Structure 1
Amino acid sequence: MGAVRESFLDGGAAPDSAGCFHCGLPVAAGTPWKAAIDGIERRMCCPGCAAVAQAIADAGQSSWYATRDGYAATATGADALPPELALYRNDDPRFALDATDCEAVLLVDGIRCAACVWLIERRLLQLPGVVKADMNVATGRLRVRWRKDACEAADVLRALHAIGYPAWPYDAARHSRQLQQAGRALGRRLFVACLSMMQVMMYVAPAYLADDAVNQGTLEPGMAALMQWASLLLTLPAVCYSAMPFFRGAWSSLRAHALGMDVPVALGIAAAFGASVIATWRGHGDVYYDSVTMFIFLLLCSRWLELAARRKAASALERLQHGLPASASLLAGWPAARSATVVAAATLKAGDVIAVKPGEAFAADGDIIEGATSADLSLLTGESAPQAMATGASVPGGAINAGHAVLLRVTRAAGDSTLAGLLKLVEKAGSGKPAMALWADRTASWFVAALLLLAVGAWLWWHWADPARAWPVAIAVLVVSCPCALSLATPSALAAATDRLLAQGILVVQPHVLETLHRATHIVFDKTGTLTEGKPAVRHVVRLGPGAGPDHRAVLQIAAALEAHSAHPIARAIVAAAQDGIAARWTAMDVQEISGQGLEGMIGGQRYRLGNAAFVEAIAGKVIDTECGTDHAGSGMTAVYLGTDGAWLACFYISDALRADARQTVDYFRAQGKQVVLLSGDRGPLVRQVAQELGITMAQGDCLPGQKVDYVQQLQQGGAVVAMVGDGINDAAVLGCADVSFAMGSGAALAQAHADAVLLNGQLHAVADSAACASRTMRVIRQNLAWAMLYNATAIPAAALGWLNPWLSGVGMALSSAVVVINALRLRKA
């Protein structure tokens, strides 16, 4: 494509001199069709391409050929497909789903309203083998699933091109480029419409002034006719260029036997402009050039706002897409040689050693084998503070080296990295629609049909009551309606909210998450790895023996000195509890580990034992029951005893540590009136202990995976809407069973998550953040829907009754769409 782009820029012929200059298809020998582009005869493959190319040149737009970055769609037939897309087959790894089905996320161009969505989904579902098609108007992404034995990937793309919607396999870079191109094209049309509107206003102002009571009759007929003709000429660019997307969209809808939002818009523009041309030609009658240009300008302003919203919705994915670097510094001869070679990151494989300089992104998942640094994980988890990474630490691909240069041994190729797994999830996210959006789409489709009937009825009634007002009223009815506001109310809010959540490290995979979470009545938590850290910690320390013995801090440091060189999880928990480290006087000597019993060592010339009760009893003597911390007996926690010759010193109760934000999260949902449930496979006493600490009244332990599913289903049968929060690894069944589910994400487990949403930041309070965002989002959606329905219910009857003229109707329609989009964008800053 680089060579193609270069030849386009220098204005030369197509790369293949035998190809059609317009569409790139081969040109048969002796073909007579040609078009003059900038004074140069260019060969064309068919009369369709010749006509289109000549029209572009005659309109003064031949510079398009110098700035394009690809051939135009072929003009040989509706089913024509660009050659590069015709090559896509079901064996492409991007479409792999399972043994029988394929699934693709496609980027669709030309989406304008809910009717476009309806048309695309209906057409694809008519294809043999297509079992699912979900189009999202806010993001421009289509998720389609088909059977391998009945349909090919190219068939899906061909069907979309046939109804006027070019589509490609989703690529964030292409999406960004497409939005930029659409923005530039829209900006040019907006400029032309604005210029036409301002100039036309200058010519119609004298006519308005002449019609008022003070200046009546001051404008001569000849001057009035001249100004009308000037207004006609100045309106032509707005109608023929700026308004062309509306006419094309309306024609595509009618050709596909559908009624899109562009239909009433195009009819309104055509009717107002046609009536004005006839009045100008005859020399009498009302003209609406000012209304036409103002309507086109305001509607384009509304579309510009919608495009800005779609750009913002795509921004998070673009940040992820650009997170992995294109190259890496490979140390092929390490450790014998340390010379680095720059290679493509995609070629890295497990076992390769790469050098990562400060400020660079880690090109793949790996372990640091030399050096220490800090890593910025904000792109992956939303956590802004850099994390310390020492030798041996595992670093996910996409993290930024915020400290010193290090050497990394690759553990997974770039294509299998944590960030790559996230991208696959994000590409699927936002392609479906929740129930509220489906309702809005269906309503908007029927709305257009009803609007056309109402416009005809208004014209008939006014033609009988006051013929002079029939045409302006019918135009006002067509122009004032705004089904766009109705169809954009839900997807624009959801796009803004999910983009905001992703920036906070919360990936919403399924479209119904926010809607269902807002309706949830029960919040069910797993314990290990969810409410707890998934690793042991010292929960209680009970001093034993005489009061003159070592204090609370001293017994912890003695125990930590004995455990200092042990890799056992309980040892790490005790060392971590000591916090202040081990002072020199607590250094343990001659430490011996007796398997299954504990440790023995000398500290300050005195012998100590740390382990189970029987092991310590051998040197400390028989323990008195009342001194053994009976308050914690039966709690399910592990008891570790410390003693010395002839004396018991302490008992450490160890269990899985609660997350720091667990109580805050549980309290939030209780305050919202939700029923919080703890469901775990751990022992019942330990589960009840955790539930008591967090204030959870419903708790059940000793649950197998199947029993968890049964419990959730029983809640659902009783009318509950269940939100499940688990670790995403061993809770796949119950996560899939719940109405909405969240998985605690970390590292490689992200790609295997079976939940509707993934907490990339690994913070439990993110569930509460999601619930708060869901409440705000539903509130904004209700506001948008209420505004859209109130506006249409008020404005359309007002126009039908003759209270609104065409230009004021255009202002109302543009403002209605703008209000919906701007209100939705507030969610990104919540």
Structure 2
Amino acid sequence: EKTTLSALLASFVAIGYRASPLGETNGLDELAAEQRRHLLRLGVAGIGMMQVGMLAVALYAGAIQGMDAHWGQLLRWASLLVASPVVFYSARPFFAGALRSLRVWHLTMDVPVALAIGIAYASSAWATISGGGEVYFDAVSMFTFFLLLGRFLELRVRYRNELRVAGEGHELVPVKSLRVGDQVRVGEGEYLPVDGEVIEGESRVVEAMLTGEQAPVLKKPGAEVYAATLNTRNGLLVRVTAVGAGTRLAAVVATMDRALTEKPPQVAMADRLAGLFVGVVLCVALLVFAFWWQYRPDDALWVTLSVLVVTCPCALSLATPAALASATYFLRRRGLLVRRGHTLQALASIDRVIFDKTGTLTHGELSIAEVQCCAHAAPVDRARALALAAALERACRHPVARALATHDTGIRAGQVDYQPGGGVSGIIHGERLALGSASYVGQTLGCVIAEPQHAMKAVEGFYYQRVVLADARGALAWIVLADGLRPGVRGALECISRLGLEIELLSGDQSSAVGRLAGELGIAQWRAACSPEQKLARVRKLQARGEAVLMVGDGINDVPVLSGADVAVAVDQSTDFTRQAADAVLLHGDLAVLAESIRHARRTARVIRQNLGWALFYNVAALPLAAMGLVPP
């Protein structure tokens, strides 16, 4: 059965939601407009609260010291005038939310909030017009302001970081400047900005944005590729066939829209508690009204209003967002950008921290330390070996490719195939060559690669790894790459260890380099030559034992394990693909931020529990007092 778009949109409108088709830019415009509307409502409520508060001080002073009736009535009318925009404009989301909740038969905290604001305002307005009774315009304005403040803080927690990640370290290309027939080159780990046809290169593309399928799809020359999909392996040259609604910008908008509906678990827990409270409050309010209507009808409305006001879960709605907003802002200032709502809660319960090596514990800025040319049927010298290696790595973006880039002499490689965590192969001058680990190269070329006899040079503060360049007849050269340790790594690991957490190192590099690094850093548990699948299997095994795992990585080969970890952190200079899989992003290379973030997450969890406890205690304690008429609205 098919449903028309107009019928679908009408169904959303019927239950109180505004819906519109996602266009190329309207999502960003709607996001900015919602932020402005919410801030404007908060501003109106804040100004109204201050003005009505000053008028209320005069009314209270007059009630104590005496005031002429006409001056008191003038102050009441002024309060009504100032409070009206607060109720009809600033408090409108609460009334809309309450109406929406009643339409779908699902009680939310908007129901008692709307009742309290509406009844207090209506009764105060009637008291002003009739010239008798109490007015509570100050309470209405203050109540509205603080509830809006809580929602604004929650909104910032859910939006702000997603926006920062979309723009951090990247520039959005205006794809409208592209035309059909243009050619664009898309590197490894980059999103495709347009729809097009592959004319050069072979790679695997993740089309999850369009199909929901996470498995990469093989793309060869002649294959169609689509905007907002992710090139995971080799560089592609694409001829543009369409631009517009399917751009990278639309993918960013989709990510932001997902963030709109993703509430942090702590906020969701507070909402569930508040929701349970709503039903109890409404039942109690009805019983209280019935009792006072029989006992003292003149006070029934005011006592019932007191019950609604003191039991409205405003403290619940303020406590959790305020704590989360404070923690998120603190971590961002320290250099950790939290992207997803569950991150803070999960950080507080971490048992083990796992690090990648290259680009995470080390700088990831490799340099050529040594080239060991091999005896071969067609021997090559150092310059030739580096030129061939650079040709194979030209379309890649990982650290090895960057180290070889300066040795590119223009030699072109065809049918390039990149294997994350293994190496790269391609055809140069009609012969297939491979560069990478000995196991990968041997498997790719069908030959046996023997380890070199002489050891690598060792220099204090640098860590080395070998990659082999070979053809089908055997090794042509071993290239030794040097990498320096990130500043402050030892101190960061000591801080993490003092928190009672286990530390582990998983790397795809050779065991000699990984073992030396682990020994110098005091990491007892380490594994070398790990494929992406083996890293993920290790994390799954730890999780099956009941451990919560924090994974820190930077490369495309870390994406599977980052996706499987309880908390995933991508370091600075990570690829788009890696950041997409991460729950948080380090904005600089200081790993000490991790220990500080875990400590602060634990502290925030304690604060949230305390806030919820005190909020519930206050609401439960005030309820019987309000029901007995001892608490004024």
TM-score, structure 1 length as denominator? 0.49
Provide the residue aligned with 2:134 in structure 1. 288
Deviations along 1:573-599, one digit per CA (max 9) or x if unpaired, are 9xx9xxxxxxxxxxxxxxxxxxxxxxx
Identify if the C-alpha distance between structure 1 residues 258 and 478 changes in structure 2 by more than 3 Å, giving closer, same or farther.
same
Identify if the C-alpha distance between structure 1 residues 706 and 488 changes in structure 2 by more than 3 Å, giving closer, same or farther.
same
Amino acid at match of 1:692: G
Provide the residue aligned with 1:671 in structure 2. 498
Question: Considering only CA atoms, is the larger Rg found in Structure 1 or Structure 2?
Answer: 1
Asked if structure 1 preserves the Cα contact closer than 8 Å seen for 2:464 and 2:481, the reply is no
- Give matches, 1:626-641, under 5 Å: none
Identify if the C-alpha distance between structure 1 residues 269 and 671 changes in structure 2 by more than 3 Å, giving closer, same or farther.
closer
Q: Post-superposition shift, 1:288?
A: 1.5
Q: Post-superposition shift, 1:674?
A: 0.2
Asked if structure 1 preserves the Cα contact closer than 8 Å seen for 2:552 and 2:562, the reply is yes
Match of 2:361 among 511, 518, 531: 531
- Give matches, 1:154-233, under 5 Å: 157-168=9-20, 169=22, 171-188=27-44, 191=47, 195=51, 198-199=54-55, 202=58, 205-210=61-66, 224=69, 233=77
Identify if the C-alpha distance between structure 1 residues 450 and 758 changes in structure 2 by more than 3 Å, giving closer, same or farther.
same
Identify if the C-alpha distance between structure 1 residues 420 and 740 changes in structure 2 by more than 3 Å, giving closer, same or farther.
same
Provide the residue aligned with 1:30 in structure 2. none
Asked if structure 2 preserves the Cα contact closer than 8 Å seen for 1:431 and 1:511, the reply is no
Identify if the C-alpha distance between structure 1 residues 759 and 242 changes in structure 2 by more than 3 Å, giving closer, same or farther.
closer
TM-score, structure 2 length as denominator? 0.62
- Give matches, 1:544-559, under 5 Å: none
Provide the residue aligned with 1:264 in structure 2. 112
Asked if structure 1 preserves the Cα contact closer than 8 Å seen for 2:151 and 2:321, the reply is no
Asked if structure 2 preserves the Cα contact closer than 8 Å seen for 1:253 and 1:263, the reply is yes
Between stretches 519-528 and 652-661, larger displacement belongs to 652-661
Q: Post-superposition shift, 1:531?
A: 2.4
Aligned equivalents of 2:49, 2:366: Cα separation in 1:
68
Deviations along 1:416-465, one digit per CA (max 9) or x if unpaired, are 99999877656644641343332222111111111122223334455666
Aligned equivalents of 1:419, 1:279: Cα separation in 2:
54
Deviations along 1:254-284, one digit per CA (max 9) or x if unpaired, are 344343434334433554566667778988x
Q: Post-superposition shift, 1:198?
A: 4.8
Provide the residue aligned with 1:804 in structure 2. 631
Q: Post-superposition shift, 1:250?
A: 3.7
Identify if the C-alpha distance between structure 1 residues 501 and 166 changes in structure 2 by more than 3 Å, giving closer, same or farther.
farther
Q: Post-superposition shift, 1:525?
A: 1.8
Deviations along 1:9-50, one digit per CA (max 9) or x if unpaired, are xxxxxxxxxxxxxxxxxxxxxxxxxxxxxxxxxxxxxxxxxx
Match of 1:732 among 529, 545, 559: 559
Provide the residue aligned with 2:281 in structure 1. 451
Amino acid at match of 2:312: C
Provide the residue aligned with 1:297 in structure 2. 141
| 2:505 partner SS | strand
Is 1:714 matched with 2:562?
no
Provide the residue aligned with 1:771 in structure 2. 598
Q: Which has the higher contact order (CA 8 A, sep 6+)?
A: 2
Aligned equivalents of 1:437, 1:782: Cα separation in 2:
12
Provide the residue aligned with 1:253 in structure 2. 101
Asked if structure 2 preserves the Cα contact closer than 8 Å seen for 1:750 and 1:760, the reply is no
Is 1:692 matched with 2:519?
yes
Unaligned 5+ runs, structure 2: 186-192, 194-236, 371-381, 391-399, 407-450, 468-478
Between stretches 764-773 and 719-728, larger displacement belongs to 764-773
Identify if the C-alpha distance between structure 1 residues 161 and 760 changes in structure 2 by more than 3 Å, giving closer, same or farther.
farther
Identify if the C-alpha distance between structure 1 residues 793 and 465 changes in structure 2 by more than 3 Å, giving closer, same or farther.
same
Aligned equivalents of 2:586, 2:63: Cα separation in 1:
64
Asked if structure 1 preserves the Cα contact closer than 8 Å seen for 2:352 and 2:503, the reply is yes
- Give matches, 1:463-612, under 5 Å: 469-495=299-325, 497-498=327-328, 501=331, 506-534=336-364
Aligned equivalents of 2:160, 2:330: Cα separation in 1:
10
Amino acid at match of 1:302: F
Aligned equivalents of 1:236, 1:759: Cα separation in 2:
51
Aligned equivalents of 1:800, 1:467: Cα separation in 2:
14
Between stretches 159-168 and 462-471, larger displacement belongs to 462-471
| 1:445 partner SS | helix
Amino acid at match of 1:288: E
Amino acid at match of 1:184: L
Q: Post-superposition shift, 1:790?
A: 3.2
Amino acid at match of 1:454: V
Q: Post-superposition shift, 1:175?
A: 2.5
Deviations along 1:706-743, one digit per CA (max 9) or x if unpaired, are 33333222222222111222334113332232222223
Identify if the C-alpha distance between structure 1 residues 685 and 614 changes in structure 2 by more than 3 Å, giving closer, same or farther.
closer
Q: Post-superposition shift, 1:693?
A: 1.1
- Give matches, 1:66-77, under 5 Å: none
User: Identical aligned pairs, as a percentage?
Assistant: 33
Is 1:786 matched with 2:613?
yes
Asked if structure 1 preserves the Cα contact closer than 8 Å seen for 2:465 and 2:480, the reply is yes
- Give matches, 1:80-479, under 5 Å: 157-168=9-20, 169=22, 171-188=27-44, 191=47, 195=51, 198-199=54-55, 202=58, 205-210=61-66, 224=69, 233-234=77-78, 236-237=80-81, 241-244=85-88, 245=92, 246-272=94-120, 287-289=133-135, 292-303=136-147, 305-306=149-150, 309=153, 312-313=156-157, 314=159, 428-429=258-259, 431-461=261-291, 469-479=299-309
Identify if the C-alpha distance between structure 1 residues 751 and 160 changes in structure 2 by more than 3 Å, giving closer, same or farther.
farther
| 1:725 partner SS | strand
Identify if the C-alpha distance between structure 1 residues 423 and 685 changes in structure 2 by more than 3 Å, giving closer, same or farther.
farther
| 1:741 partner SS | strand
Identify if the C-alpha distance between structure 1 residues 496 and 418 changes in structure 2 by more than 3 Å, giving closer, same or farther.
farther
Amino acid at match of 1:433: K
Amino acid at match of 1:472: W
| 2:348 partner SS | helix
Deviations along 1:751-801, one digit per CA (max 9) or x if unpaired, are 674333344546544544543443343244334323422332333333234
Asked if structure 1 preserves the Cα contact closer than 8 Å seen for 2:163 and 2:256, the reply is no
Amino acid at match of 2:149: L
Identify if the C-alpha distance between structure 1 residues 729 and 426 changes in structure 2 by more than 3 Å, giving closer, same or farther.
farther
Amino acid at match of 2:153: A
